[in-house]
A and B are shown apart, each in its own frame.
Chain A
Amino acid sequence: MADTTALAPSAGQEDSDGAVEIRRSVVIRFSGDSGDGMQLTGDQFTNTSAVLGNDVSTFPDFPAEIRAPVGTIPGLSGFQVNFSSDDLYTAGDAPDVLVAMNPAALKANLRDLPAGGAIIVNTDAFTRNNLRKAGYEDNPLENESLKSYEVFEVPLTKLTQKALEDIEEMSNKQKDLCKNAFALGLSFWMFDRPLETTINFYEKKFGNRPHIVEANTRVLKAGYYYGENTEAFQHRVSLPQRSVVESGTYRRITGNEALVLGMVTAASKANKPLFYGSYPITPASAILEGLAALKQFDVRTFQAEDEISAMGSIIGAAFGGAFAATASSGPGLALKSEAINLAVVLELPMLIVNVQRGGPSTGLPTKTEQGDLLEMFFGRNGESPIPIIAPATSAECFDLAVEAFRIAARSMTPVILLSDGYIAHNSEPWKIPNPDDIEPIVSNYRTDPQGYQPYMRDAETLARPWVIPGTPGMEHRIGGLGKQDVTGNVSYTPEDHEHIIKTRAEKIGRIANFIPDLEVAGPDEGDLLVIGWGGTFGAIYAAVKQMQEEGKSVASTQLRYLNPFPKNLGNILSRYKQVLVPELNLGQLSLLLQARFPVRVVPFNKVQGQPFQIREITHKIVELLG
């Protein structure tokens, strides 16, 4: 039995007889049944690595089914962690280490593992039945098929049971559930990481069930000591802390978590309640759950009966003077589009988040894609301009949620924020800002009835005033019918209609006056510009950086502001001989750029439900530049 009081040696400490190899960057992928706790395992590995001072980037990959048949490939849940002594931009193209909890995990992930990669397998799961379910005719552990890899065979299930044999409160099945802690402990040993962070996590999460804390802690340590005491694992790898990091306090954050914090911050900075109306949908539900737990921030969450109601409710809340938001994914946005158009016509401020997933229709609920860009631009009846912004990273979701509300309140308009399944779940270090340093958000309120008209407009922004019901002397009616500008009265007059349509377009166009210029990473002019938008930033930036280091004349830039585009975009596009546009769709930004600017672009498209790999983009750049 492991000692429950002494903690494992802290990171970096040299063991008596163990050699520690120093590396700059490692990618580890945990894969197992969706009930095996792989997300938690990956999460803990990431937390510990981040706290240790490495940069981290993660890629959780889980099935749409909650519990697909145990032991099968569709039932797999995976979590890839890239951890590094240098700056990271993606979760890594390919794993260096694969932790496979069963034969299906081995079979599904092996093709991603480069020759020479390490595999840790739970041999106890390699039963005839599991092999059959994974589609293996022969046991790969018993033939030559894995000979180009370094394979560590560990009877994880048996060792876990053994570590817990004297805990009577737990059934064997419950004990089995702890085996992820063994895999985690072993991984901590291999990569020279301390156990404290995870043990603290167990205490916090399971504190009211001491035997669960005890069991997980014990198995975690058992895994760690198994590494320490087993000859096969004597080769350890350690990664020094990142050397150049901006000083400050950091935490990990996923895109969805960052949106939650961003929305709460925006409302707080405007001194307004936050109303969030939403219908559960993958991959956006975590935002609803996150906000529902923050009522003490004057947050009201409304789980609506459907997507339409969610959208309607935030229109009502915005009319009522709250900062209102909703989030959904592709199918939900399709349902919301009619009500979004009402919001456009009512000219009320609100935030609509689309966490994009693979489409069309139900598509790939748990996978990422950028297929909704044109839908957000054009997928509503009539001329219906909406500002669209897209965070490039998980952490940036915080800044852009605040920015979205700033734009919404300044210009009195709904704003669409386009996230995606990748950055929603990817986690990375976030330098925690001081909320006092964030500029207050000023709204276009009016309480003076003198001369008030519902659609009178600010000369600079063209925003109409925001007048909240309850304000005496300013009773007014607004609606979805065609209307006269200024008075807001219903009007079918041809001139009135054209005027207000053009005014709304102009209002959104003028937002370009308030947004930052687009910046380019690399030379100001040259052979190639690689331009992306949203969550593909990491792969594009890292690929271009590599190419620059190889001496190529190439720059990259990432659009956060899609509607309107930054004012200097046309100028930037004109300064390069070629423009490459990588997108996780069939060329939607490409289409927009070619429509708006005198430029021929080279689309580079991928629709596999997976993010770009760095090497896919470098190969494309090499293909273009030779």
Chain B
Amino acid sequence: MSEVAVAEKLTRKDFVSDQEVRWCPGCGDYAILAQMQKIMPELGIPREQIVFVSGIGCSSRFPYYMNTYGVHSIHGRAPTIATGLKAVNPDLSVWVITGDGDALSIGGNHFMHTLRRNVDVKVILFNNRIYGLTKGQYSPTSLPGHRTKSTPMGSIDYPLNPLSIALGAEATFVARTQDTNTKHLGEILKRAAAHRGTAFVEIYQNCVVYNPTAWDHTTDPNVRDDNILYLEDGEPLIFGKNRDRGIRLNGLEPEVVELGEGDSGDGLLVHQEDYKNTHYPFLLSRMGHPEMPLPFGVLRCVDKPAYTDMINDQVKQAVEKVGDGDLKDLFHDSDTWTVE
């Protein structure tokens, strides 16, 4: 196909818009933007078939910087706009860019329902555990005790876990990655792009101004490998700088075990992305720092018909069943009478 051929020739630069990027220097958003622009040409999708939709927040400026179609919408509502767009244009590649406040606080309802419907959009959540655009209030993912401008004595909110929420809504693709982990980030974005249905990706993203230490445990080269569990489909759950620890089940609780030299990892949990039910990925999503390593990668990837495909299938089915609608017949489909 000629369109694909054209798309293959695209480079990163083709996805850079003419708008000046206005995030704070050092913001994690730059790295995510760069990876997105880098992987786009690799997807083989013509540029005009790609749409970025965002809500409100620092991350939501994202569409302005992508040289694709885009809508910078209103706080928390991007999934609703993406749903309507995709429902009438099922061939588009539609991406929702959101943040922890946008998706989980003001937009919590839309977030949940988009996932459970399996709308074929990619939802990329930049989680920095803070409200950056409004200058430093706590967010629904801020940790208890976090002192911010609106919590001078420490947050008394219990935080939401984005992965657990997504799995609770039975999202068909759930993954986690990090802004500075560029290679992993790029791979996960490509996996998300390839998924038919809602692909949810949580990206640990650093807010250099208002919450710069939030992800130190996953970025500091001295400790990060001890705190991250990279998931590989079909591989046992092994982590650590020296790959000397694993995860096994003790009853219904996962626990960390030390691996001896030459230990092949028998008895460890083996990662599988496509369990029909969500028990296993949910268990992974609950593993929290510092007790357990944080799973990075694809927690869940299952096939399930997407809402936005089915809504179009029903139109086709209706036409197959009764033929193309005819206005004259429709108008007369009632008791009628004629006046001469």
- Report whether chain A binds chain B: yes
Residues of A within 8 A of B (CB): 47, 50-53, 197, 200-201, 245-253, 261, 264-265, 268, 273, 275, 277, 294-300, 302, 304-306, 308-322, 324, 338-339, 342, 346, 432-435, 468-481, 489-490
In the complex, the answer to whether B324 meets A296 with C-beta atoms within 8 Å is yes
28 contacts between A and B (CB under 8 A): A50-B335, A50-B337, A245-B339, A249-B338, A252-B335, A275-B87, A275-B88, A296-B322, A297-B330, A302-B84, A309-B109, A310-B80, A312-B79, A312-B84, A313-B87, A317-B84, A324-B88, A339-B80, A432-B331, A435-B327, A469-B49, A470-B48, A470-B49, A475-B69, A476-B69, A477-B72, A478-B70, A490-B19
CA distance A251 to B336 in the complex (A): 5
In the complex, the answer to whether B84 meets A433 with C-beta atoms within 8 Å is no
Q: Nearest chain B CB to A452's CB is how many angstroms away?
A: 13
In the complex, the answer to whether B84 meets A261 with C-beta atoms within 8 Å is no
Chain A residue nearest to B66 (CB atoms) is A477
A305-B113, A319-B85 known; A479-B73 Cβ under 8 A: yes
Q: Which residues of A contact B325 (CB under 8 A)?
A: 264, 268, 294, 296-299
Is residue B162 contacting chain A, with contact meaning CB distance below 8 A?
A: no
Contact of A475 among B67, B82, B312, B317 (CB under 8 A): B67
Chain A residue nearest to B74 (CB atoms) is A342
Contact of A478 among B71, B319, B340 (CB under 8 A): B71
Chain A residue nearest to B92 (CB atoms) is A469
Q: Which residues of B contact A475 (CB under 8 A)?
A: 47-48, 67-70
Chain B residue nearest to A299 (CB atoms) is B315
Q: Which residues of A contact B250 (CB under 8 A)?
A: none
Residues of B within 8 A of A (CB): 17, 19, 46-49, 51-53, 63-64, 66-74, 77, 79-89, 91-92, 109-110, 112-113, 311-312, 314-315, 317-319, 321-325, 327-328, 330-332, 334-340
Q: Which residues of A contact B82 (CB under 8 A)?
A: 316
Q: Nearest chain A CB to B5's CB is how many angstroms away?
A: 13
In the complex, the answer to whether A473 meets B74 with C-beta atoms within 8 Å is no
Chain A residue nearest to B15 (CB atoms) is A475
Chain A residue nearest to B75 (CB atoms) is A338
A261-B330, A300-B87, A435-B328 known; A47-B63 Cβ under 8 A: no
In the complex, the answer to whether A320 meets B85 with C-beta atoms within 8 Å is yes
Q: Which residues of A contact B47 (CB under 8 A)?
A: 472, 475
Q: Which residues of A contact B331 (CB under 8 A)?
A: 251, 261, 432-433, 435
- Of the candidates A252, A296, A472, A480, the one having the most CB atoms from chain B within 10 angstroms of its own CB is A296
Chain B residue nearest to A241 (CB atoms) is B339
Contact of A302 among B87, B327, B330, B340 (CB under 8 A): B87
Q: Which residues of B contact A52 (CB under 8 A)?
A: 337
Q: Which residues of A contact B86 (CB under 8 A)?
A: 316, 320
In the complex, the answer to whether B74 meets A480 with C-beta atoms within 8 Å is yes
A47-B335, A252-B335, A477-B72 known; A470-B312 Cβ under 8 A: no
Chain B residue nearest to A324 (CB atoms) is B84
Contact of B327 among A268, A311, A319, A489 (CB under 8 A): A268
- Of the candidates A252, A305, A342, the one having the most CB atoms from chain B within 10 angstroms of its own CB is A305
- Of the candidates A306, A315, A489, A490, the one having the most CB atoms from chain B within 10 angstroms of its own CB is A315
Q: Nearest chain B CB to A440's CB is how many angstroms away?
A: 13
A469-B92, A480-B74 known; A51-B337 Cβ under 8 A: yes
Contact of B109 among A200, A294, A305, A471 (CB under 8 A): A305
Q: Nearest chain A CB to B215's CB is how many angstroms away?
A: 29
CA distance A53 to B336 in the complex (A): 10
Chain A residue nearest to B3 (CB atoms) is A472
Chain A residue nearest to B324 (CB atoms) is A296
Contact of A490 among B64, B91, B322 (CB under 8 A): B64
- Inter-chain pairs besides A53-B337, A477-B70, 12 sampled, C-beta below 8 Å: A51-B337, A248-B338, A251-B337, A264-B327, A296-B318, A296-B325, A302-B83, A305-B109, A305-B110, A308-B109, A309-B80, A490-B64
Q: Which residues of B contact A53 (CB under 8 A)?
A: 337, 339
A249-B336, A309-B109 known; A315-B49 Cβ under 8 A: no
In the complex, the answer to whether B48 meets A472 with C-beta atoms within 8 Å is yes
A197-B335, A314-B84 known; A302-B311 Cβ under 8 A: yes
CA distance A589 to B109 in the complex (A): 37
Q: Nearest chain A CB to B254's CB is how many angstroms away?
A: 33
In the complex, the answer to whether B340 meets A247 with C-beta atoms within 8 Å is yes
In the complex, the answer to whether B83 meets A316 with C-beta atoms within 8 Å is yes
Q: Nearest chain A CB to B111's CB is how many angstroms away?
A: 10
Contact of B89 among A309, A470, A473, A478 (CB under 8 A): A470
In the complex, the answer to whether B315 meets A312 with C-beta atoms within 8 Å is no
CA distance A433 to B336 in the complex (A): 13
A309-B113, A470-B91 known; A346-B71 Cβ under 8 A: yes
Q: Nearest chain B CB to A312's CB is how many angstroms away?
A: 3
CA distance A578 to B110 in the complex (A): 52
A275-B84, A469-B49 known; A477-B69 Cβ under 8 A: yes
Q: Nearest chain A CB to B239's CB is how many angstroms away?
A: 38
Chain A residue nearest to B56 (CB atoms) is A480
Q: Which residues of A contact B92 (CB under 8 A)?
A: 320, 469-470
CA distance A342 to B86 in the complex (A): 19
Q: Nearest chain A CB to B60's CB is how many angstroms away?
A: 9
